[in-house]
């Protein structure tokens, strides 16, 4: 990527805009210390000259006391400049750290807002994870670095201009020699910054893989199987293999950069020592005083340092701008589900129910439909069950109802109104669900239930009521701190629940929301049949006069539904009550009788 490109310029502007939004006062406050720091080198070298020259005069003076007073005043002024510089550095450090803290909060809030707003399909997209990984890795520091490096470039440039004016009084060629000496090193840094960025892009997926492997080797969910199946050696070897490839790709660039930087440093050394030689020659022949000699030597040394700092910061500025591109792109992701510009309200109360009309859907990037020509009615106040083999499309249908996706063809209607005519929030406020992979929050028992409807005012009585409906109230009361007990096992004072208790906790969360439509999408797949039957029995009782959808593989619970839809190969192939479907002796009958054999 060229040093100046649209992406780099866009990243530069984006970084300043976002940092300024998050740290307006502290961004402007950094100007003062930067101005002080830019003027200090000139004052320092000039004061050193005066101190040395006045000391030389004092040494030869007859009235040494009076002569020393002049030297002392110059020393005091030099000390004050030194103190001012140190105070400015301390203030600048405080401002920089404060900016970091404020910007961290600002940018992570934006990332969290974006992640919560984008469609579910992004979480099933490999390219999204590449982008998300790059954005998250660079979000908290890269935009700040752009601002910090820009301030440093301006500060060093101003300091260099003042020192440059001083060096021009010695000889115009000295300044030009220093410029020529430092430019090659700066160009080398910029060139290899681009090379390293290309390596970073190529390695993003492999970087994701090694952290996934690291999770397998270090995190609790995998610990049992890693030990039982002796997987440690396999994953460790895989980690080493991938890391070796990543490491070699970087080390190859580092080696080349070292060789080029060494050559550039040799050029810089010849130029600097040549300038030193010229100054020493003039001092020997009486053109310069000892003070002037020292001043110019220090000025050249500081000038080289400033040149190097400028190119170093330009290189870092270029590098950070390249990485900020990903954060900017991530935060500009647009939802793919259709937005209702004049949204209608969800029917309250639901009178007719939910209808699927010729609904077809295909996951992004897939070549086959996940749903094909679905026609289905879910009457208001009734319980409908969805059954069928794995991969038939049951969970996909539920995702469409929750508007995690929109159908490619057909419509989903609530009392005849298309869900696309409603806002996402309006639809989801009227739906509560308990999925197979529902979340276990490491928060208190009360919070675990309250998260089902966290937008409303907290009500402990509603929490208890939901817990009683889910038959988990007594278990919660038995915990050391009752509803205030932190659940899980990652904290010293937390308490872990059994699988069945977590299922009931999730069910209580669904009940707490008290929405018009409640969905159970195979949340009890890991439970034994008796425990599952108990869960669905309490669910059926609690769902009287509510619209409910059950998704299950177990037919002992499906019988509780008022109506059953049978899905196979992305279609609805049968429908009816339990008895009607048995009488048809079709797919439902075959699945039911096969499962019943295991319980005789």
- Euclidean distance between CA atoms 394 and 558, whole angstroms: 14
CA distance from start to end of the chain:
70
HEC sequence for 471-537: CCHHHHHCCCCHHHCEECCCCCCCECCCHHHHHHHHHHHHHHHCCCEEEEECCCCCCCHHHHHHHHH
Q: Identify the helix (H) or strand (E) that includes residue 573.
A: strand 571-576
Q: Burial, 552: exposed, middle or buried (Cβ in 10 Å; 0-12, 13-18, 19+)?
A: buried
Sorted by where each begins, the domain ranges of the chain are 6-331, 350-430+517-528+546-600, 437-514
Quick check: 387 and 587 in contact, CB under 8 A? no
Minimum mean pLDDT among 57-61, 192-196, 442-446, 532-536: which range?
532-536
Paired with 154 in beta bridges are none
pLDDT for 598:
58
- Euclidean distance between CA atoms 6 and 329, whole angstroms: 13
Nearest to residue 307, comparing CAs of 439, 153, 168? Answer: 153
- Euclidean distance between CA atoms 43 and 82, whole angstroms: 10
pLDDT for 532:
67
- Euclidean distance between CA atoms 528 and 556, whole angstroms: 12
The fraction of the chain above a pLDDT of 70, given in percent, is: 94
- Euclidean distance between CA atoms 180 and 201, whole angstroms: 33
Nearest to residue 207, comparing CAs of 169, 158, 247, 161? Answer: 247
Minimum mean pLDDT among 230-234, 280-284, 375-379, 398-402: which range?
280-284
Same fold, 350-430+517-528+546-600 and 437-514: yes
Split at pLDDT 50, 70, 90, the class of 3 is low
| 3 state DSSP class of 309 | helix
pLDDT at 359 over 90: yes
Minimum mean pLDDT among 59-68, 213-222, 245-254: which range?
59-68
Q: Cα 507 to chain center, whole Å?
A: 31
Nearest to residue 26, comparing CAs of 85, 84, 87, 94? Answer: 94
Instruction: Provide the CATH topology of domain 437-514.
Output: Rossmann fold (3.40.50)
pLDDT at 526 over 60: no
| Stretch 171-191: mean pLDDT | 77
Residues 6+ apart with CB under 8 A from 338: 406, 420
Instruction: Given CATH 3.10.28.10, say whether it is the number of domain 350-430+517-528+546-600.
Output: no
pLDDT at 248 over 80: yes
- Please state, as a whole number, how many other Cβ atoms lie within 10 Å of the Cβ of residue 431: 22
CA distances from 209 to 125, 215, 225, 502 (A): 15, 10, 19, 31
- Euclidean distance between CA atoms 600 and 596, whole angstroms: 7
Split at pLDDT 50, 70, 90, the class of 386 is very high
Split at pLDDT 50, 70, 90, the class of 417 is very high
pLDDT for 486:
92
pLDDT for 356:
95
Q: Burial, 121: exposed, middle or buried (Cβ in 10 Å; 0-12, 13-18, 19+)?
A: middle
Q: Structure pTM?
A: 0.67
pLDDT at 230 over 70: yes
Name the CATH code of domain 6-331 (choices 1.20.1560.10, 1.10.10.10, 3.40.50.2300, 3.40.50.1100).
Answer: 1.20.1560.10
Split at pLDDT 50, 70, 90, the class of 158 is confident
- Euclidean distance between CA atoms 295 and 88, whole angstroms: 23
pLDDT at 575 over 60: yes
Q: What is the mean pLDDT of the chain?
A: 83
Name the region of 560 (left: φ>0; alpha: ψ -120 to 50; beta: rest).
alpha
As given in the structure block, the two tokens for residue 77 are 């002024």
- Euclidean distance between CA atoms 102 and 94, whole angstroms: 12
Rounded to 5 degrees, φ, ψ at 523 are -75, -15
pLDDT for 351:
92
Q: Cα 513 to chain center, whole Å?
A: 29
CA distances from 114 to 107, 111, 122, 139, 339 (A): 11, 5, 11, 13, 16
pLDDT for 529:
64
The fraction of the chain above a pLDDT of 90, given in percent, is: 18
pLDDT tens column, 534-555:
767 777 777 777 898 988 877 7
| Stretch 492-510: mean pLDDT | 86
pLDDT at 54 over 60: yes
| Stretch 317-333: mean pLDDT | 80
Q: Burial, 306: exposed, middle or buried (Cβ in 10 Å; 0-12, 13-18, 19+)?
A: buried
Split at pLDDT 50, 70, 90, the class of 315 is confident
pLDDT for 311:
81
Rounded to 5 degrees, φ, ψ at 423 are -75, 155
Cis peptide before 289 (omega within 30 of 0): no
Angle at the Cα of 355 from the Cα atoms of 352 and 356, rounded to 5 degrees: 180
pLDDT tens column, 70-118:
778 888 888 888 888 888 888 988 988 898 888 888 888 888 888 877 7
């Amino acid at each position: 990527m060229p040093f100046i490109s649209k992406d780099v310029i866009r990243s530069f502007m984006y970084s300043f805009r976002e940092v300024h939004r998050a740290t307006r006062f502290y961004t402007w406050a950094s100007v003062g210390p930067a101005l002080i720091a830019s003027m200090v080198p000139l004052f320092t070298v000039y004061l050193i000259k005066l101190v040395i020259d006045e000391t030389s005069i004092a040494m030869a003076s007859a009235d040494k006391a009076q002569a020393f007073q002049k030297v002392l005043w110059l020393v005091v002024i030099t000390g004050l400049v030194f103190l001012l510089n140190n105070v400015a550095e301390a203030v600048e450090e405080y401002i920089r750290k404060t900016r970091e803290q404020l910007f961290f909060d600002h940018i992570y809030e934006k990332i969290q807002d974006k992640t919560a707003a984008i469609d579910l399909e992004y979480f099933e997209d490999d390219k999204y994870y590449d982008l998300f990984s790059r954005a998250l890795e660079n979000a908290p520091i890269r935009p700040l670095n752009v601002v910090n490096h820009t301030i440093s470039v301006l500060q060093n440039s101003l300091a260099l201009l003042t020192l440059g004016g001083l060096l021009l009084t010695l000889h115009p060629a000295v300044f030009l020699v220093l410029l020529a000496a430092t430019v090659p090193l700066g160009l080398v840094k910029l060139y290899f910054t681009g090379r390293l960025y290309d390596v970073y892009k190529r390695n993003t997926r492999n970087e994701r893989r090694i952290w996934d492997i690291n999770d397998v080797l270090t995190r609790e969910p995998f610990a049992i199987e890693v030990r039982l199946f002796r997987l440690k050696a396999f994953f460790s070897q895989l980690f080493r293999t991938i890391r070796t490839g990543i490491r070699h790709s970087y080390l190859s660039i580092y080696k080349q950069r070292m060789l080029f930087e060494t050559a550039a440093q040799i050029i810089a050394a010849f130029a600097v020592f040549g300038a030193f030689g010229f100054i020493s020659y003039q001092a020997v022949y009486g053109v310069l005083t000892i003070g002037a000699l020292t001043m110019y030597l220090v000025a050249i040394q500081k000038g080289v340092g400033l040149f190097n700092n400028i190119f170093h910061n330009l290189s870092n500025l270029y590098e950070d701008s390249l990485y900020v591109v990903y954060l900017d792109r991530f935060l500009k992701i647009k939802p793919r589900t259709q937005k209702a510009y004049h949204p209608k309200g969800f029917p309250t109360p639901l009178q007719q129910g939910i209808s699927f009309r010729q609904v077809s859907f295909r996951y992004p990037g897939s070549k086959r439909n996940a749903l094909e020509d679905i026609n289905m009615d879910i009457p208001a106040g009734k319980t409908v069950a969805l059954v069928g083999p794995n991969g038939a499309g049951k969970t996909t249908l539920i995702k469409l109802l929750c508007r995690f996706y929109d159908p490619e063809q057909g419509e989903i209607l609530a009392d005849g109104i298309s869900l696309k005519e409603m806002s996402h929030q309006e639809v989801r406020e009227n739906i509560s669900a308990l999925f197979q992979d529902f979340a276990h929050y490491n928060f208190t028992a009360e919070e675990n239930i309250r998260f089902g409807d966290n937008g409303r005012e907290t009500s402990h009585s509603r929490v208890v009521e939901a817990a009683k409906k889910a038959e988990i109230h007594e278990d919660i009361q038995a915990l050391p701190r009752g509803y205030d007990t932190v659940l899980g096992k990652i904290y010293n004072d937390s308490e872990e629940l059994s699988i069945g208790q977590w299922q009931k906790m999730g069910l209580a969360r669904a009940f707490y929301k008290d929405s018009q439509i409640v969905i159970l999408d195979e949340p009890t797949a890991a439970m034994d049949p008796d425990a599952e039957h108990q869960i669905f029995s309490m669910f059926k009782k609690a769902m009287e006069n509510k619209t409910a959808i059950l998704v299950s593989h177990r037919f002992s619970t499906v019988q509780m539904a008022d109506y059953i839809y049978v899905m196979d190969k992305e279609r609805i192939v049968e429908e009816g009550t339990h008895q009607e479907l048995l009488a048809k002796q079709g797919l439902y009958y075959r699945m039911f009788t096969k499962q019943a054999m295991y319980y005789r």
